Amino acid sequence: NPLDYSGVWRFRELFPFAPENQIVTIGEGQTVLQQNDGVAKYAGINSGGLYLQYEGMNPSGSFKDNGMTAASTHARMVGAKFTACASTGNTSASLAIYGGITGLFQVLVFVGSGKIAYGKLSQALDYGAVTLQIDGDFDDALKQVRRVCDQAGIYLCNSVNPFRLEGQKSIMYRVLEGLGWEVPDWIVVPGGNLGNSSAFGKAFMELKELGLIDRIPRLAVINAAGASTLTRMYNDEGLRWNDGKPDQNLIAEYFRRMDEQDGRAGTLASAIEINRPVNLTKCLRALSVCDGVVRDVSDEEILDGKAQVGRHGFGCEPASGASVAGAKLLREQGIIAPSDRVVCILTGHQLKDPTVTVAYHSGDREALAKHGAVEPHFGNAPIRV
Ligand code: F0G
């Protein structure tokens, strides 16, 4: 059965919404779990204890394909002829490749102008998506695409779409598979719109209920300092899942204050430049299920982490560097122990955002500053080409 060759659908019993003859697959989910001692040393973790789950080998070069195969399947099931998303780049590249290859639906993407890495924009264009630049950022683009989808009956493929998150659960199934179904101590993941972290929490909750694992790993969600709504709300305001009833007044008040101050997100890690994460509530559940922690890291820490992954592993895009930076920070804070087994999720391919990578290695502070860092303060790169 060809479905057995998909890194997502070979786990199809764990998201049984799709009849087999409706499933849309383009070979997603061929990922690698790499034990990496170079990065372990950087993060202060014992030799053999740190793993990198590289999602860059997906067809469109990011973890999004895990979810988009599921959303595309559901779009086909309901007969959608038009699909759309807002994106910081990877979601649009992913949706565009599914639409382009299968020919099942037309793809419309909304991106914030100047807010998307060229590698990603070129994918959407090349795969034939109608690409609209919005005057604003991702948060504005998402608001607009939701309105357009509502009004025009277009199938929305952002992570508000629950079928997408079903597919993204498979990222955790493959991590466990790679570890021989031994549960690690930590999963560390960058947080943007918080779809991934939400999906991971759901995956572990269900696996435990099914008796397939006996304990749940701890989850660390890492924001960029310039896009740190989750960190502020979880750590500073004490917002919690609270059995499905997080304090709505606290959330409303936070966003009211943000609006007052025109609180735009700003980080070089453009993939996670998001201040109004739509999956906030679902992520709170994941944090509750996984005894989670939340941290934010500076752009400098993110790019240093990314350089380590490039030097010792397959490389990754800037946002993915947040997981390594986060693991290092949590280790320094004594929350992760040196003997812990830690899996850092590398969400996107090394080639997605060459501009930032080259500027970093050539020590071009001005280029980095222009690229949108809130407080660019880069020293020399620790690793130089
Ligand atoms: N890493 C990369 C490379 C991403 O592209 C994204 C999100 C994230 C991390 C954050 O994941 O939203 O599940 O918390 N990118 C979206 C996009 C927003 O439009 O491509 P999340």
Rounded distance from Cα 281 to ligand 1 centre (Å):
17
Same domain, 324 and 176: yes
Residue 15 lies in a domain: no
What H or E segment, with its residue span, contains residue 278? Answer: none
Query: Per DSSP, what are the bridge partners of residue 51?
Result: 35, 343
Same domain, 113 and 200: no
Atom of ligand 1 at shortest range from CA of 94: 20
The pLDDT score that the predictor gives to residue 377 is: 37
The pLDDT score that the predictor gives to residue 314 is: 95
Same domain, 111 and 198: no
Residue 90 lies in a domain: yes
Atom of ligand 1 at shortest range from CA of 320: 1
Atom of ligand 1 at shortest range from CA of 221: 14
The pLDDT score that the predictor gives to residue 366 is: 74
Coil/strand/helix, residue 186: strand
pLDDT tens digits along 274-326: 999 999 999 999 999 999 999 999 999 999 999 999 999 999 999 999 999 99
% of the chain surpassing 70 pLDDT: 96
The pLDDT score that the predictor gives to residue 109 is: 96
Same domain, 102 and 221: no
Same domain, 329 and 345: yes
Alpha carbon 112 to its chain's center: 18
Rounded distance from Cα 211 to ligand 1 centre (Å):
30
* CA nearest ligand 1 atom 12, residue: 193
- From the CB of residue 301, how many other CB atoms can be counted at a distance below 10 Å? 20
Q: Looking at residues 203-217, what average pLDDT do you find? A: 98
160: buried, middle or exposed (CB in 10 Å: 19+, 13-18, 0-12)? middle
From CA 322, how far away is CA 306, in angstroms rounded?
Answer: 8
Tokens linked to 119:
């590698």
- For residue 342, give its domain range: 32-60+165-370
Q: Any idea which of 22-26, 120-124, 369-373 has the lowest mean pLDDT?
A: 369-373
Same domain, 263 and 316: yes
Per-residue pLDDT band for 375 (boundaries 50, 70, 90) equals: very low
Same domain, 320 and 356: yes
pLDDT tens digits along 72-111: 999 999 999 999 999 999 999 999 999 999 999 999 999 9
> Where do runs of H (alpha helix) occur along the chain?
37-43, 64-77, 90-102, 118-126, 138-152, 162-168, 170-178, 195-209, 229-231, 248-260, 280-289, 299-312, 318-332, 354-361, 365-370
- Name the domain count of the chain: 2
CATH code where residue 146 lies: 3.40.50.1100
Give me the chain's average pLDDT, please: 93
The pLDDT score that the predictor gives to residue 371 is: 63
Where does a domain end: 161, 176, 210? 161
Q: Which strands, in side-by-side order, build the sheet including 155-156?
A: 130-134, 106-112, 82-87, 155-156
For residue 154, what is the DSSP state?
Answer: P
Same domain, 264 and 301: yes
Q: Which of 108, 158, 219, 272 maximizes ligand 1 atoms within 8 Å of its Cβ, making it the mutation to test the pocket?
A: 272
Per-residue pLDDT band for 372 (boundaries 50, 70, 90) equals: low
Protein residues with CB under 6 Å of any ligand 1 atom? 62, 64, 87-91, 159, 190-196, 271-272, 317, 319-320, 347-348
- Whether 374 has a pLDDT exceeding 70, the answer reads no
Q: Looking at residues 195-199, what average pLDDT do you find? A: 98
pLDDT tens digits along 126-176: 999 999 999 989 999 999 999 999 999 999 999 999 999 999 999 999 999
Q: Looking at residues 188-193, what average pLDDT do you find? A: 98
Residue 68 lies in a domain: yes
The pLDDT score that the predictor gives to residue 259 is: 87
Atom of ligand 1 at shortest range from CA of 317: 3
Same domain, 151 and 221: no
Q: Looking at residues 203-210, what average pLDDT do you find? A: 98
Same domain, 123 and 211: no
* Contact between residue 326 and residue 219 where contact means Cβ atoms under 8 Å apart: no
Residue 4 lies in a domain: no
* CA nearest ligand 1 atom 15, residue: 271
Residue 18 lies in a domain: no
Rounded distance from Cα 261 to ligand 1 centre (Å):
25
Give, in degrees to the nearest 5, the angle at Cα 58 between 52 and 64. Answer: 90
* CA nearest ligand 1 atom 6, residue: 271
The pLDDT score that the predictor gives to residue 365 is: 75
Atom of ligand 1 at shortest range from CA of 87: 19
* Contact between residue 250 and residue 239 where contact means Cβ atoms under 8 Å apart: yes
Q: Looking at residues 217-221, what average pLDDT do you find? A: 98
> Where do runs of H (alpha helix) occur along 27-114?
37-43, 64-77, 90-102
pLDDT tens digits along 239-284: 999 999 999 999 999 999 998 887 789 999 999 999 999 999 999 9
- Whether 187 has a pLDDT exceeding 50, the answer reads yes
The pLDDT score that the predictor gives to residue 373 is: 46
Number of DSSP helices (H) and strands (E) in the chain, helices first: 15, 10
